[in-house]
Structure 1
Amino acid sequence: MTPGKRGTAMHREPFQNQLRRSFIGYVATILALILLLYLGGFALNFFAVVVRGCRRDNQELETVLTQQLAAYDRGAEELTGADALRRAVGSGDRGECLEANRLLYDFTNQQKLRAYFVLLGADMQVLSSNFSAHNQSIFSSSAFAAGAATRMKQEPAATLRYVCTAPVSSEQACAYTLCRAVPDETGAAAGYLLLNLRQEGFRDAVRDTDSEVLLTDRYDNLIYTTLDPREDPQDKQPSNKFSLSLEDDGILSLDGSRYYAVCGAVGPQALRLYTLTSLDMQLRMLLYSGGLFIVLLLLLTGVVVAMTKAFTRQNAMELGELTAAVEDLSKNGGAEALPPQCSEESQALYTRFRELIAHNDELLNRRRQMEIKHLEEQFNPHFVYNVMETVRYQISEDPETASEMLLSFASLMRYSVNYGHTKVLLETDVEYVNDYLLLQKARYNNCLLYDFDIPEELLECRVPKLLLQPVIENSIVHGYRAGRTLSIRVQAEHRDDTLRFIVTDDGTGIPAGRLAELRESFEHDLTNEYAAHVGLYNIQKVIRLTYGAPYGVQIESTEGQGTAVTLTIPYEVEENEGC
């Protein structure tokens, strides 16, 4: 397949569809970028607010708790070695106990995490405490205090740490206990000091923290939490246990809620500090904003579809104006400018196209004139050859007739030279044809009859030069039969805006097959196959080049009866105005 054929067979999409697809593609790209920015903003917000905030809370709390536990470790060791506490547990004297009480108050009041202190004698009697009297009795008689005292007896030189489980009242609830034996001169336990970190102290420490907090020992015993203690993921832990399956920072689920959790270690005791930031609000924001985004996207899609139709309609309208103007330009010459609503670029394109059309028309006109001139020049040699043959014959037979023929021939040559234009008056061309027929009649020994039926008012019309002569010559050459007279009739008539010439003869006619081939040749270039009728072909070519379709030559013929050739051209008078 040739490139031209490929181009013709190629499917081309309408401009309006291309414009609509491009516009929707651009808008879709913008929407995709907006979606990416939204998701990117959400991810950035998640990292900045949730992840970094949760880590910051964990680090700050870890620092505070580590410092406080270290302070209580040092304080427990220093206080149990103080003389005031030793004398108080050794004698039980009220004055000594008041001195120990003052020392313990001063220490606990200096701490950010306040504590309820209890100084017990060897017999588990309360010597000094800032608990209420009721809670002092409960605490001293509790299994927790008894168990701690037993351990302190065994390790009098160590500071022990426990999750406080003493059943004191909620207003003086304790979370974590550091305890150490008060030694006598031998180093044995003479009494016991228990520093119970208050629940409210932890609550004050995490008050400015945006995250939920969970603090456990390494055995998952609950020290303090802002979560509901019942939120046990497995629902298998005791009430004083709280275990999170979290080895590294990440997202976990508790009781149907999702959290981002960070795990840290507090002090040498390796207490586990968890800070948890709820993701429910973030997820709800994502859900609501996502739903809102989808609604807005649907609304925007509707707006985009409407805008696309209007946009493509407007641009297609301008293209339609340009197309219509170009079509009008090819048919009627077109206007000099497009409508005002068309763009400057369209006007520039139209102006350039007008210039190209004008230049192309000029080239076509020059080419047409050259072709017509070439065809006219083909008539002269063809005709000269036939006349010379006749004169040669007459010189030997009838020199006087030959002399008359030469005079007529000279007149014809003057016509050819003096009327070099492509169009002449019909009267001039008829005179030329008459001289031509006189020559032919002499050649055929008066076996040629002819007559003209042309209204006088038509003689002022303009016709292509040598319009009728080739048709008459074709009738003589192909219609004459030796021994029989050939009659030729030339008629002219005016119908509407056309001028018609009908040249009929009673010659041999044209066979049907040959006639079909001859008619077909009028639509193609001349070949040797149709060279016998070159005169008719040239006349068809001249008329089409001069006037275009539907003007031209029509042939009707019946073999053995004759031929009728009809020439149709526009009706023009000498001033080139319609009659």
Structure 2
Amino acid sequence: MIGNTTINKLYREKLSRSLLLFAIIPTILVTGVFFQLFFMIINEISDRELTSQNKELSSFLSSEITSYKKEIQALQEDPRLSRVFQTDDVHNDIYKELYQVVTDHQLKSNFYIVDVEGSILLTNAYRDNTAQIYYDKYLTKVNKNQDKDITFYNEKDNHAADFTFLKMTAPIYDGNKVSGFIIFDLQSNQLRRFYENMNYTDIVITDPFGNQLFSSKRSLILDNGKIGVLSKKGYHTVSSSIVKDEFIVHSIRYEGLLQKGFFFGFLGLFVICGLMVIITRLFAISIARKKTKSIDTLLSTIQDVNEGRYKGYHQLEEEDEFETINYYLHDMILSKNLLLSENKEIHIRKTEAEIKQLQMQFNPHFLFNTLENIKFMIRMNPSSAEELLLKLSSILRYSIDNTDQDSPLKDDIKYIYDYLDIQKARFEERLNFSVEIPEELGTTPIPKLIMQPLVENAVKYGIDHVDHLLIKIKASRIGDKLVIMILDTGSGFSQSRLQEIRDLLHTTQNPSNHIGIYNVHRRIQLKYGRSYGVRVFSEENKGSLLLITIPYRKEE
């Protein structure tokens, strides 16, 4: 027997491994997967937000700039605009129209009407040196003979809170001559709402060549004025082209904090997992110590059983799961003893059945009468004598062969045919029989020779008291059961004898020397259970009916 110290150690190790394998590790895996999915979902939501914000900003800018272009083109077509340099009469009307253009847009702007020298005629901004700046930086670049196109400029050196991020300039023609310019300075203040309420999100607006027009953060722009984060790690960018690819809108999110959160989150998860493993180990040791007494009691019980000195059920001190094991161990021991008893009885019954079969196989009266009939027939009818010899040989061969415990129903019926044919040769017209076995039941396996003792009883005890004996054998399947009926028209049993037989079939011991019906019944019950067996029905001077019930089984 293994020592208690070894048992405790093994139990502690197994409990620790079980908790780790079936509780801690699955929990860690589920937590890790959940953690991963959580960050994937956050990242996906953030990406969708970024895409949505970029789409909204692009749509807003495209709509506003396109609308400004249409308004400028409409002003260029207004004949009053060329007169603004010649007379003051139209100044108020032109100012009102320009002011209305700005008012109608969400993206506000400063407008200017300047001549080719940069002198301001009309503006809604403060008058300072702005016109000269325009002249120096932009107006000198405009080809005075250009077509009526609108030119875009950017103020890349300005990063004030409300700076002009885009300048829209269009020439004012007097005939074919450029007499001045319409200028709209689009202000950046309306762009704030697209990034101020978005965590870790910035926007950059560039021309097709990557030159910055607007950026929400100076660090996103290189010294040469171009956007510098498109290829950097830790940034996610969504870009859209607008106004016939004149501009590109970039929505940029810094993912460094999210990645750091993911890293530190996993690091914290590993620390927690390590603590859980340590706690589980300590918990296993504590549980093992508490369960040691119960294990010792169970081991002692098993040792007593092995040594054949089991003293009966002994309740454990602690009412835990081991008490359930203790109870079922006691029940198993009792079942084991019962099974041993039944196996012993099965062996005894099998031995008795084999002895009885041998007795029947070599019954002197049966053999003597059969051989006498054969001797008589050899003189009178040699062919019939030969047939009887063959049947007798078949009976002896089948009954002596003990290699199989079961045999097909058709083989047992063949044995019964041969047996009854020999008996009919003896009793002639006094004995008749019929057998009805459906073809599909012929291969059904049954315990060997379970019909022979019952048929023999019908002949032996029935024919001496009647002038004519009829034996009917019929088999049928009822649900999952095979029922074999043996009916005879012999003298039958009295009610007292019938009750005596029925009482005998309900016992596990047979005090009489007659084991025919009882032995068949007990063999079936020991093999298949108490739901099966032999049932006896009889009426004195009218005959008997025996029903053999066994499980239906297909051919093996």
Q: If the length of structure 1 is used for normalisation, what is the TM-score?
A: 0.52
Relative distance call for 1:320 and 1:266 in structure 2 (3 A) is farther
Residues 191 and 362 of structure 1: is their aligned pair in 2 closer, same or farther, counting only changes over 3 Å?
Answer: closer
Match of 1:200 among 182, 185, 189: 189
1:280 to 244, 256, 261: 256
Does residue 1:40 correspond to 2:29, yes or no?
Answer: no
Q: Is the 8 A contact 1:322 1:350 kept in 2?
A: no
- Counterpart in the other structure of 1:336: 313
In the alignment, what sits opposite 1:396? none
Please state how far the C-alpha of 1:284 moved relative to its aligned partner: 3.0
- Write out aligned runs for 1:70-469 (5 A): 70-89=66-85, 91=86, 93-147=87-141, 150-151=142-143, 153-164=144-155, 170=160, 173-184=163-174, 186-204=175-193, 206-210=195-199, 211-229=201-219, 231-232=221-222, 237-238=223-224, 240-245=225-230, 252-253=232-233, 258-314=234-290, 317-329=293-305, 330=307, 332-341=309-318, 342-354=322-334, 356=336
Whether the 8 Å CA contact 1:139–1:168 is kept in 2: the answer is no
The whole-number CA distance in structure 2 between the counterparts of 1:286 and 1:32 is 16
Q: Which residue of 1 aligns with 2:422?
A: none
| Deviation string, structure 1 residues 12-71 (Cα, Å, up to 9, x no partner) | x955544432221012122111111111111111111x2111111111111101101110
SS at match of 1:133: coil
After superposition, the C-alpha distances for 1:479-516 in whole angstroms (9 at most, x for unaligned) are xxxxxxxxxxxxxxxxxxxxxxxxxxxxxxxxxxxxxx
3-state SS of 1:69 partner: helix
Given that residues 230 and 237 in structure 2 are in contact (C-alpha distance below 8 angstroms), is that contact kept between their aligned partners in structure 1?
no
8 Å Cα contact 2:206-2:249 kept in structure 1: yes
Per-residue deviation, 1:213: 0.3
Deviation at 1:78, TM superposition (A): 0.8
Deviation at 1:170, TM superposition (A): 4.3
Task: Tell me, yes or no, if the aligned pair for 2:166 and 2:186 is still in contact at 8 Å.
Answer: yes
Matched-pair contact (CA < 8 Å) for 2:237–2:253 = yes
Counterpart amino acid of 2:281?
A: V
In structure 2, C-alpha distance between the alignment counterparts of 1:362 and 1:265, rounded to whole Å:
91
The match for 1:61 is 57
Amino acid at match of 1:21: R
Shift of 1:319: 3.5
| Stretches of structure 1 lacking an aligned partner (at least 5 in a row) | 1-12, 247-251, 368-579
Q: Deviations over 1:334-369 (max 9, x none)?
A: 3422314232243122232255358769999xx9xx
Q: Secondary structure at the match of 2:90?
A: helix
Partner amino acid for 1:347? Y
| C-alpha distance in structure 2 between counterparts of 1:94 and 1:168, whole Å | 34
- How many residues are aligned here? 331
Does the CA contact (< 8 Å) of 2:316 and 2:323 recur in 1?
A: no
Q: Which is worse superposed, 131-140 or 31-40?
A: 131-140
Distance 1:271 1:281, change over 3 A: same
Check the 8 A contact 2:298/2:326 in 1, yes or no: yes
The answer to whether the 8 A contact 1:321-1:338 is kept is no
Question: How many angstroms apart in 2 are the aligned matches of 1:322 and 1:205?
Answer: 74
Q: Which runs of 5+ in 2 are unaligned?
A: 1-8, 348-556
Q: Deviations over 1:54-96 (max 9, x none)?
A: 111111111101101110110110122223422213x1x3342
Query: Aligned partners of 2:247 and 2:185: how far apart in 1?
Result: 16
Task: Tell me: CA distance 1:328–1:123, structure 2 relative to 1, closer, same or farther (3 Å).
Answer: same
| 8 Å Cα contact 1:98-1:128 kept in structure 2 | no
Shift in alpha-carbon separation, 1:63–1:312, aligned structure 2, 3 A: farther
Distance 1:84 1:169 in 2: 36
Displacement of 1:109: 1.6
SS of the equivalent of 1:260 reads strand
1:112-141 Cα distance to aligned partner (Å, 9 max, x none):
111111111233211111221124344344
Q: Mean Cα displacement is larger for which, 276-285 or 66-75?
A: 276-285
SS of 1:164's equivalent in the other structure is: coil
For 1:162, give the aligned amino acid. Y
TM-score by length of 2: 0.54
Deviates more, 1:19-28 or 1:73-82: 19-28
**Identity between Structure 1 and Structure 2 (%):** 12
- Are 2:117 and 2:135, in contact at CA under 8 Å, matched by a contact in 1? no
For residues 294 and 124 of structure 1, do their structure 2 counterparts lie closer, same or farther at Cα, with a shift above 3 Å needed? same
Residues 71 and 95 (structure 1 numbering): CA distance in 2 closer, same or farther, change over 3 Å?
same
Any conservation in 2 of the 1:173–1:199 contact (CA below 8 Å)? yes
Instruction: Give the residue type in structure 1 aligned to 2:243.
Output: G
Q: Secondary structure at the match of 2:83?
A: helix
| Inter-partner Cα distance in structure 2 for 1:338 and 1:136 | 103
Q: 1:176 Cα deviation (Å)?
A: 0.8
**SS of residue paired to 1:94:** coil
Q: Where do 1:534-549 residues align within 5 Å?
A: none
Match of 1:31 among 6, 28, 31: 28
Say what the alpha-carbon RMSD is for the aligned residues. 3.1
The verdict on how the C-alpha distance between 1:94 and 1:363 changes in structure 2, with shifts beyond 3 A counting, is: closer
Q: Secondary structure at the match of 2:248?
A: strand
Distance 2:198 2:18 in 1: 52
CA contact (8 A) 2:294 2:316 kept: no
Q: Whose Rg is larger? A: 1
| SS across alignment from 2:111 | strand
1:16, 1:316 within 8 Å by CA — same for their partners in 2?
no
**1:417-465 CA deviation, whole Å, 9 max, x = no partner?**
xxxxxxxxxxxxxxxxxxxxxxxxxxxxxxxxxxxxxxxxxxxxxxxxx
In 2 relative to 1, CA 137–34 (structure 1 residues): closer, same or farther, beyond 3 Å? same
- 1:46/1:169 CA distance change after superposition, 3 Å: closer
Letter in 2 for 1:158: D
Partner of 1:21: 17
In the TM superposition, what is the alpha-carbon distance from 1:230 to its structure 2 partner? 6.3
CA contact (8 A) 1:220 1:241 kept: yes
